[in-house]
Amino acid sequence: MQKIGVFVCWCGSNIAGTVDVHAVAETLKKEPGVVFSTDYQYMCSEAGQNLIKDSIKEYGLTGVVICSCSPRMHENTFRKAAQSVGLNPYMVEVANIREQCSWIHKDMATATEKAVILGRAAIAKVHLNAPLTAGESPVVKRALVIGGGIAGIQTALDIAEAGFEVDIVEKSPTIGGKMAQIDKTFPTLDCAACILTPKMVEAAQQEKIKIYSYSEVDEVKGFVGNFSVKIRRKARYVNEDICTGCGVCTEKCPQKKVPNEFNLGMDNRRAIYIPFAQAVPKVATIDPNYCTMLKTGKCGVCSKVCTAKAIDYTQKDEFVEAQYGAIVVATGFNPISLEKYDEFAYSQSPDVVTSLEYERLMNAAGPTSGTLLRPSDLTHPKTIVFVQCVGSRCDGGDKGKPYCSKVCCMYTAKHAMLTREKYPDTDVYVFYIDVRTPGKNFDEFYRRAVEDYGVHYIKGMVGKVVPQDGKLKVQASDLLSNEQLHIDADMVVLAAAIEPDKTARPLATMLTASMDTNDFFTEAHPKLRPVESPTAGVFLSGMCQGPKDIPETVSQASAAAAKVIGLLAKDKLTCNPCVAHSDEQLCNGCSSCEKVCPYGAITYQDKEFRMPNRTVAVRRVASVNPAVCQGCGACTVACPSGAMDLNGFSNRQIMAEVDAICK
């Protein structure tokens, strides 16, 4: 029989306000095995912890039940306290009477009754607890950063700076991401390329950083400190090590009609291409969807003109398997597709563009070499209408996103301001729901657009855009003066909502990292652990976690790097001893558990068993690799014979809890 101590925490008034903590302690005192029961104001405080320690010593407790907040919060605190006075830390159970009781109930009588039941369940479990010993696992001192935008680059640079190896996997042929496409950056209006490209070069030259461009993560196995990742290096049909990036092939390639994704399809590139002049790595890539040689076997021009002999039409996807201690997700974002927004005539007129397209039209390296020309007839637009919140802050329906995309207000102010500065004869209108510009020097920036540059900011939304006689007839409402507006515009610029990159969802599944309903990665704690995912060893950097601008992205990227460095600086990690194990006497070898294990921790072997009459039978039985098992318990419920069981959460313990609740 265990000697159990029960400690009921008030959590100030968090628990005591709704639960009669004294009554709970008194009632639980009568449970079998309970030799001591008390309540205290703050059990997690030093005095509270001392109370637990002293009672363990005084009463010779073999088990401890703490009725307090969620075990996610302080289980570790209490386990450490128990351990410091010689009690096995896994003999401590936490009954969550805050999040699951006091915070969600109003009536004291029922809340108290429920707290007693929860305490009783924990006591029933402790009766079956056994001391567990945690093992250790080594840490691979290398990090993987998935995504080579500004977030990924910054994280990688910071990790490398601390002396650890770091690999960047980028799915496109160059690193740089969205920031490389941007013209100028708010609120200082410095050129994006001027501040980004030196960082790209630094990443390429930093000897601790290895860049896998044009590559994707195919498979992730393992766990914190020891991930095993399979990287697919897509065939670029050009030998990366030999190509000098001279660009002759990209000029001679006869296939000229390939939409250039770097300029969002507003001009064309060749089938062999270097995305932009400052690309890193600066090597050519053949687009297999357009290359005549790869499709029909008849061409070979690039191979003939290449003096370095870098073209290799026979290249195949290659796979790299590497070990990492930590993984940083920096998969970034995309503007949403505007196909569903017929009212803005996006698909009907080339002069209705997204803000990112407008960014390219303003950029010196863009399709119009930086001269603002409207795409339909390459004339200077005289009247430009900006529409904000296209797809952002939409409640209900599948058309838009419920969240604020956060960056649109500022970049629209930037676009409006730059347009007025370069072309003062242009009329610029901005339609908005609200203007949201918190941030250092942000609101000043927006006010400059309105006050110094004379941009017409109009509160209200555009209802319809109709292309007619070379103009865009814009119908809108001005909510402040309560009138309908009709504007004949030359261009309409839509501030499309942003959404996480489509590759994020399958990646989250591979990493067993959780996402919210909008496919943004969830952080371990929204306030206190904002750059860690709830999955140990997986960290978040940049837009993949939520909308943010470049300064915020860079801060978060460095924060994620700091967390990674903290992990990689350790030589060993303490393993979770709450892992599954199989009872070979009961195991049928049916493979049910193996197939539901998300971590691939279960293998089978043929084993000899002694049977009656000195006979031997060979049976197929499961065994669990405790270093790989994460203790999720999927196997224990899949096992029909109950051979699989989880340390610390055994079938019997859970049944005992259920029985105690139903008593």
Partner 1 sequence: MQEMMKKRALQLLQDGTVERVLAWKTGEFSYDITPAVFESAEEIEKDFVYDAFCAANLSKYLVALSKKEGKTLAFLKPCDSYSFQQLMKEHRVDRDNVYIIGIACDGKADADKIKDSGIKGIKNIADNGDKLVVETIYSESTELDKKDFLAERCLNCKSRKVVIYDEMIGENGEVLDSNRFDMVEKIEAMTSEERFEFWQNELSRCIRCNACRNVCPACTCEKCVFDNDASGIANKAAANSFEENMFHIIRAFHVAGRCTDCGECSRVCPQHIPLHLLNRKFIKDMNEFYGEYQAGEDLETRPPLVNFTMDDVEPSIVNEKGGKE
Q: How many residues bind partner 1 (CB under 8 A)?
A: 29
Q: Are 82 and 89 in contact (CB under 8 A)?
A: yes
For position 502 contacting partner 1 by CB under 8 A, the verdict is: no
Instruction: Establish if 218 lies at the interface with partner 1 (CB under 8 A).
Output: no
Smallest separation (angstroms) from partner 1 to the CB of 613: 15
Our finding on whether 590 is near partner 1 (CB under 8 A) is yes
CB 466 within 8 A of CB 345: yes
Contact between 258 and 270 (Cβ < 8 Å): yes
Contact by Cβ (8 Å): 406, 543: no
Among 337, 585, 603, 605, binds partner 1 (CB under 8 A): 585
Q: Which stretch binds partner 1 (CB under 8 A): 103-111, 418-426, 485-493, 585-593?
A: 585-593
638 lies in the binding site for partner 1 (CB under 8 A): yes
| Least separation in angstroms between CB 128 and partner 1 | 9
Q: Which of 357, 377, 384, 379 is nearest to 488 (CA)?
A: 384
For residue 518, state whether it binds partner 1 (rule: CB under 8 A): no
For the chain, what is the radius of gyration of the CA atoms?
Answer: 31
The reply to whether 350 sits near partner 1 by the rule CB under 8 A is no
Distance, CA of 185 to chain centre = 24
**578 close to 648: Cβ distance less than 8 angstroms:** yes
467 versus 600: smaller Cβ distance to partner 1: 600
Is 624 a residue that touches partner 1 (CB under 8 A)? no
Report strand pairing: 215-223 vs 226-233: antiparallel
Piece of the chain touching partner 1 by CB under 8 A; list 403-411, 429-437, 449-457, 582-590: 582-590
The residues facing 634 across adjacent strands are: none
Q: Is residue 534 a contact residue for partner 1 (CB under 8 A)?
A: no
Nearest to 299 by CA among 246, 255, 240: 255
Q: Minimum CB separation from partner 1 for residue 662, in Å?
A: 12
* CB-count burial class (<10 Å; 0-12, 13-18, 19+) for 333: buried
Determine if 595 is a binding residue for partner 1 (CB under 8 A). Answer: yes
Q: From the CB of 178, what's the least distance to partner 1, in Å?
A: 27
Report how far residue 5's alpha carbon sits from residue 55's, in angstroms, rounded to the nearest whole number. Answer: 8
Find, among 20, 117, 10, 129, the residue nearest to 64 by Cα: 129
Preceding omega of 335 cis (within 30 degrees of 0):
no
Residues 6+ apart with CB under 8 A from 613: none
Return d(Cα 505, Cα 509) in angstroms, integer. 6
**Binding range to partner 1, per CB under 8 A, among 111-119, 248-256, 337-345, 505-513:** 505-513
Closer by beta carbon to partner 1, 219 or else 377: 219
510 near partner 1, rule: CB under 8 A: yes
Binding flag, residue 514, partner 1 (CB under 8 A): no
Asked if residue 641 binds partner 1 (CB under 8 A), the reply is yes
- Rule CB under 8 A: is residue 586 a binding residue for partner 1? yes
With CB under 8 A as the contact rule, the residue among 596, 623, 626, 648 that binds partner 1 is 596
Residue identified by tokens 């303003």 is 362
What are the φ and ψ backbone dihedral angles of 19, each rounded to 5 degrees?
-115, 135
> Tokens 């945690």, residue?
134
Which CB, 85 or 590, lies closer to partner 1? Answer: 590
Residue 99 DSSP one-character state? I
Query: What character string, x for contact with partner 1 (CB under 8 A) and - otherwise, covers 239-278?
Result: ----------------------------------------
Q: Of 407 and 508, which has the nearer Cβ to partner 1?
A: 508
With CB under 8 A as the contact rule, the residue among 60, 163, 265, 506 that binds partner 1 is 506
> Residues 597, 628, 629, 660: which binds partner 1 (CB under 8 A)?
597
Residue 591 CB, shortest distance to partner 1, in Å, is: 6
Residue 652 near partner 1 by CB under 8 A: yes
Does 588 bind partner 1 (CB under 8 A)? Our answer is yes
Among 284, 587, 601, 628, binds partner 1 (CB under 8 A): 587
CB of 287 to partner 1, least distance (A): 28
Kindly list the distances between the CA atom of residue 143 and the CA atoms of 163, 165, 166, 630, in Å, as whole numbers in the listed order: 11, 6, 5, 20
Q: Considering only 117-125, 184-192, 467-475, 503-511, which stretch makes contact with partner 1 by CB under 8 A?
A: 503-511
Residue identified by tokens 């010779």 is 60
Does position 589 interact with partner 1 (CB under 8 A)? The reply is yes
Residue 475 CA: distances (Å) to CA of 227, 462, 485: 55, 6, 6
Among 481, 518, 591, 603, binds partner 1 (CB under 8 A): 591
Q: Please identify, among the stretches 77-85, 330-338, 348-356, 586-594, the one whose residues bind partner 1 according to the rule CB under 8 A.
A: 586-594
Kindly state the smallest distance separating residue 514's Cβ from partner 1, in Å. 11
> Are the beta carbons of 497 and 391 closer than 8 angstroms?
yes
Indicate which single residue of 198, 251, 642, 661 sits in contact with partner 1 (rule: CB under 8 A).
642
Q: Which of 592, 630, 636, 647 binds partner 1 (CB under 8 A)?
A: 592
Angle between helices 150-161 and 550-568 (to 10 degrees): 40
Q: Is 601 in the site for partner 1 (CB under 8 A)?
A: no
The binder of partner 1 chosen from 242, 364, 466, 617 (CB under 8 A): 617
Omega cis (within 30) before 281: yes
Q: How do 644-646 and 580-582 pair as beta strands?
A: antiparallel
In this chain, which of 328, 559, 602, 634 binds partner 1, going by CB under 8 A?
634
Segment interacting with partner 1, rule: CB under 8 A, options 107-115, 271-279, 554-562, 649-657:
649-657
Residue by residue, DSSP assigns 421-484 as: HH-TT-EEEEEES-----STTHHHHHHHHHHTT--EEEES-EEEEEEETTEEEEEEEETTTTEE
Contacts of 641 (CB under 8 A, 6+ apart): 586, 587, 588
The window from 23-31, 91-99, 354-362, 615-623 that contacts partner 1 (CB under 8 A) reads 615-623
* Dist. CA 126–CA 497, nearest whole Å: 51
Give SS3 for 277: coil
In sequence order, what DSSP letters do the residues of 142-162 get, joined into one string? EEEEE--SHHHHHHHHHHHHT
Total residue count of the chain as it appears in this document? 663
Q: Which is nearer to partner 1, 347 or 585 (CB)?
A: 585
Binding to partner 1 by CB under 8 A, coded x per residue (else -) over 535-574, reads ----------------------------------------
Binding map of partner 1 across residues 293-322, x = CB under 8 A, - = no contact: ------------------------------
Site mask for partner 1 (CB under 8 A), range 369-388, x = bound: --------------------
Q: Is 358 helix (H, G, I), strand (E, B) or coil?
A: helix
- Binding residues (CB under 8 A) for partner 1: these are 506, 509-510, 585-592, 595-598, 604, 617, 619-620, 634, 638, 640-643, 651-652, 655-656
